[in-house]
Amino acid sequence: MKRFHVHLHVDDLNRSIGFYSQLFAAQPARTESDYAKWMLEDPPVNFAISTRGGKPGIDHLGIQTDDAEELAGLKARAQAADMALLDEGTTTCCYARSEKHWITDPQGVAWEHFHTLGNIPVFNEASQPASGAAAACCAPSDGRAAKPAASCCWSGGTMTTEVTYNALFICTGNSARSILAEGILNELGKGRFHAWSAGSHPKGEVHPLALATLERLHLPTTGYRSKSWDEFVAPDAPVFDFIFTVCNGAGEACPLWPGKPVSAHWGVPDPAAVEGTEEQQRKAFTDAAITLRRRIELFLSLPLKLVDAMSLQRELSDIGRQ
């Protein structure tokens, strides 16, 4: 049997225990100083609350299985659907030892699939002593400790995190591919990402078909410039979390970027180099945009807060080969 799982962050544990005990007509199956859990049977729900996390509200959702076979089935289903997945294996969290993996839905909400192996006397064997509500729980660190508000089982913030990642797309001329990628990520990643683009040898103007392609995709067509990557190595430039090169030449040498961003090469044939009819040229730009959009969608599906930098580098490189 599978059991739906909900984990909420609450400000007042005792008051919340009283409320949910009345709502469910049942007392918690487990109560600790920072945590409480109900194992409801009708409907079957593992409902947990804790004082660890950022803003009050949903921390994460999930599905609990009764055995390893059911968990393997959920994992296979996620992989078959091409979902980005982080397999934590055997780990500890919420006063339990579990076999667990994570996925994220299109809204960025974390889902854990897990099979509980047994109880433990502490919230998380791997965690440091808690320091107020911002102490993290069980998810592996993503190296962004300077960013605000770690949540309970999802490291680095609640699912509606206010962290914004900065990304830079680089190609040679900064007139076509990198412009398309900038526009697509700014739209699809709105609220989570801020994208820029630059060129190693900028042409100084954006290709008209790049703007026409963005318009056909119902994306903004203003605010783009063909500019040098030199603009982004100045002391007051944005600190980038991700850098993507989208043409072969740009992958050969880049300036030393501050902040040690994760980088990947997402080579795309240059649509501006296509000769032929206007229809053939327009198709080349559309094909480039479709390729970049698909890669960006895969990128946005990754559980960034749960993946270490080295694993993330591999994931992004794999996306660039698709």
Mean pLDDT, consecutive 10-residue stretches, the chain (322 aa), reads: 84 86 86 89 87 74 89 79 68 84 71 86 60 40 34 42 80 94 94 92 95 94 94 87 81 61 90 92 95 94 73 85 82
Q: Are 39 and 75 contacting, i.e. CB atoms less than 8 angstroms apart?
A: no
Q: pLDDT, tens digit, for every residue of 116-148?
A: 888 878 776 664 444 433 334 444 334 332 233
Contact 100, 112 (CB under 8 A): yes
Residues 6+ apart with CB under 8 A from 231: 198, 237
Q: What DSSP assignment string belongs to 171-182?
A: ESSSSSHHHHHH
Distance CA(144)–CA(217), nearest Å, equals 33
Q: In sequence order, which residues have a C-beta less than 8 Å from that of residue 272 and are 6 or more positions away?
A: 173, 175, 176, 207, 209, 210
Distance CA 19, CA 171 (A): 56
| Cα of 113 vs its chain's centroid, Å | 17
Q: What's the pLDDT at 235? A: 82
Determine how β-strand 30-32 pairs with β-strand 35-41.
Answer: antiparallel
Structure tokens at 114: 């897990």
C-alpha 288/C-alpha 124 separation (Å) is: 46
Residue 60's pLDDT is what? 82
Tokens of 43: 């409907």
Q: Give the count of beta carbons closer than 10 Å to the beta carbon of residue 22.
A: 9
pLDDT in the model for residue 105: 67
Q: Which of 119, 118, 151 is nearest to 136 (CA)?
A: 151
The token duo for 244 is: 């993507």
Q: List Cβ neighbours of 91 (8 Å cut-off, separation of 6 or more).
A: 97, 98, 99, 100, 126, 138
Q: Residue 39: is it exposed, middle or buried by C-beta count within 10 angstroms (0-12/13-18/19+)?
A: middle
- The reported pLDDT for the residue numbered 242 is 93
Alpha carbons within 13 angstroms on the beta-carbon side of residue 322 total 17
CB-based burial of residue 173 (10 Å sphere; 0-12 exposed, 13-18 middle, 19+ buried)?
buried
Residue 132: Cβ within 10 Å count: 7
Question: What is the reported pLDDT for 144?
Answer: 33
